[in-house]
Amino acid sequence: MDKWFLVYDDPFADKNFSKAKEKLPTLKKIVSGKGIHDSHKHCAEQSLTNRFIVLDADCELLENFSYTTFLNELTDESKVFVFRAVNPINDLVYGHGGIKVFDRRLFKNNNAVDMTTAFDIVPVNYVTNIHRFNSTPFHTWRTAFRECTKLSSGTVKLRNTKDDEYRLTVWCEKFNNVENAEYAKLGAIAGREYGFKNKDLQQINNFSWLKEKFEETKNVLET
């Protein structure tokens, strides 16, 4: 099974890749300048195996990482399987930022805006990594904004409304004393407001638009 380490612009990509490579020797780095969904599609196009694994560049594997015992169970080609990750900002543990197992046939003739609205996602009850998205103010804000937009919009396929509401509350109200936590708060609240008003997720995969939005809202912390 092909294994991809997907890099867009994470400043600690090389460090995380080196650590992941120790656990997954056949892991290959793939650099994409596209949005998140299109980047996953790019991995599918490059894969020589039908099923493939994606680790995002802000994925820091746990020391006890192992996944092979689960793979024989993750065979439904119509599903996306997502392992659990730890959020360092608020201690949430769920699929956000976790390792994903795709089937490349899912992407054939698929022009979806976002993975969460396009595919049936099945959670795998095993924690694989820490989601180190709080590397810079912008990366932190962007991640919180995107996730809270999806949680508040109600557009996630096969969503659990109760879980989404709980996670949205935690994103917007709990913040550990860690780097860039204040930007997580700013992004989460802005994302919640945006998702309540907008059910079209097109813009949250437009990284240029997100950068502009960040520049607008970060002024709250600077004034």
Regarding whether 121 and 147 lie in a shared domain, the answer is no
Regarding whether 142 and 125 lie in a shared domain, the answer is no
79-86 and 93-94 beta bridge pairing: antiparallel
* Domain final position from 98, 131, 164: 131
**What is residue 155's predicted lDDT score, i.e. its pLDDT?**
79
Contact (CB, 8 A) for 124 and 70: yes
- Strand-pairing partners, residue 93, are 86
Which range of residues forms the domain containing residue 145?
137-222
Compute the residue count for the chain.
223
CA distance 86 to 105: 29
**What is residue 34's predicted lDDT score, i.e. its pLDDT?**
72
Regarding whether 103 and 195 lie in a shared domain, the answer is no
Mean pLDDT confidence for 87-110: 91
Regarding whether 156 and 119 lie in a shared domain, the answer is no
Contact (CB, 8 A) for 150 and 201: yes
Q: Which amino acid is at 15?
A: K
Regarding whether 111 and 47 lie in a shared domain, the answer is yes
- Strand-pairing partners, residue 59, are 131
Q: How many domains does the chain have?
A: 2
CA distance 51 to 217: 40
* Domain final position from 72, 102, 131: 131
Regarding whether 72 and 37 lie in a shared domain, the answer is yes
CA distance 122 to 73: 11
Regarding whether 121 and 141 lie in a shared domain, the answer is no
Regarding whether 158 and 185 lie in a shared domain, the answer is yes
**What is residue 3's predicted lDDT score, i.e. its pLDDT?**
95
Other Cβ atoms closer than 10 A to 33? 11
- The reported pTM is 0.90
pLDDT band at 207 (very low <50, low <70, confident <90, very high): confident
pLDDT band at 181 (very low <50, low <70, confident <90, very high): very high
pLDDT digits (tens, 9 = 90+) for 41-60: 889 999 999 999 999 999 99
SS (H, E, C) the chain: CEEEEEECCCCCHHHHHHHHHHHCCCCEEEECCCCHHHHHHHHHHHCCCCEEEEEECCEEECCCCCCHHHHCCCCCCCEEEEEEEECCCCCCEECCCCCEEEEHHHHCCCCCCCHHHHCEEEEEEEEEEEECCCCCHHHHHHHHHHHHHHHHHCCCCCCCHHHHHHHHHHHHHCCCCCCCHHHHHHHHHHHHHHHHHCCCCHHHHCHHHHHHHHHHHCHHHHC
**What is residue 114's predicted lDDT score, i.e. its pLDDT?**
62
